Amino acid sequence: MDIVTVKDKRFRLSIPAQELQQAIRRVAENITEDYAGQQPLFLAVLNGSFMFAADLLRRVELPCEIAFVKLSSYAGTDTTGAVRELIGLNTDIEGRPVIVVEDIVDTGLTMQHLLGLLQARNPKSVDVCTLLFKPEKLKVDLDIRYAALRIPNDFIVGYGLDYDGFGRNLPQIYTIIDETADNQ
């Protein structure tokens, strides 16, 4: 299905499942190689990263742990700029190599804030692993070690990413094509 409607907006297929899986496999291989001999703690940022985290972790061949945290500032199709607090980090990260797993880095503000909160807990290291990266939108100086796919500056849904809470279950990534579903 190349066109889908999520709530009141239409989206077209932009990253098919096969391309997603290929990119995820590549990142998993890089992490497996780079972290050889270590036992990283993956911190998956909910809600958006749940599908990516599941597929990524299946392919990482290392002794590792995963924990889920929440830190969200997004409503509808626009960044609010406001950042909420970190919820759910019950694991001690002091002295540990941490890999943050995100769905998408857009302005980078969310990630920058999260990295600040994590650094305060004295981990051994923190690397960022994001499924998607919009380089044109980046507003802050951010070191993104792993970015599976670079995408243009359009609003997307699917594969964990939502539009107003819907569309997360789509197995592929779709890009917005118009403002309303019934204007054509």
Nearer to ligand 5GP, 31 or 45 (CB): 45
Of 6-14, 34-42, 58-66, 96-104, the segment contacting ligand 5GP by CB under 6 A is 96-104
Output the DSSP codes for 12-57: EEEE-HHHHHHHHHHHHHHHHHHTTT---EEEEEETTTHHHHHHHH
Q: Go through the chain and tell me how many residues it has.
A: 184
- Tokens for 10? 């239409």
Using rule CB under 6 A, residue 161 touches ligand 5GP: yes
Out of 156, 159, 173, 174, which residue is the one contacting ligand 5GP (CB under 6 A)? Answer: 156
Active-site annotation holds for 106: yes
CB of 150 to ligand 5GP, least distance (A): 13
- Cα separation, 180 vs 184, whole angstroms: 9
Q: Residues interacting with ligand 5GP, by CB under 6 A?
A: 48, 74, 79, 102-111, 155-157, 161-163
Catalytic residues: 106
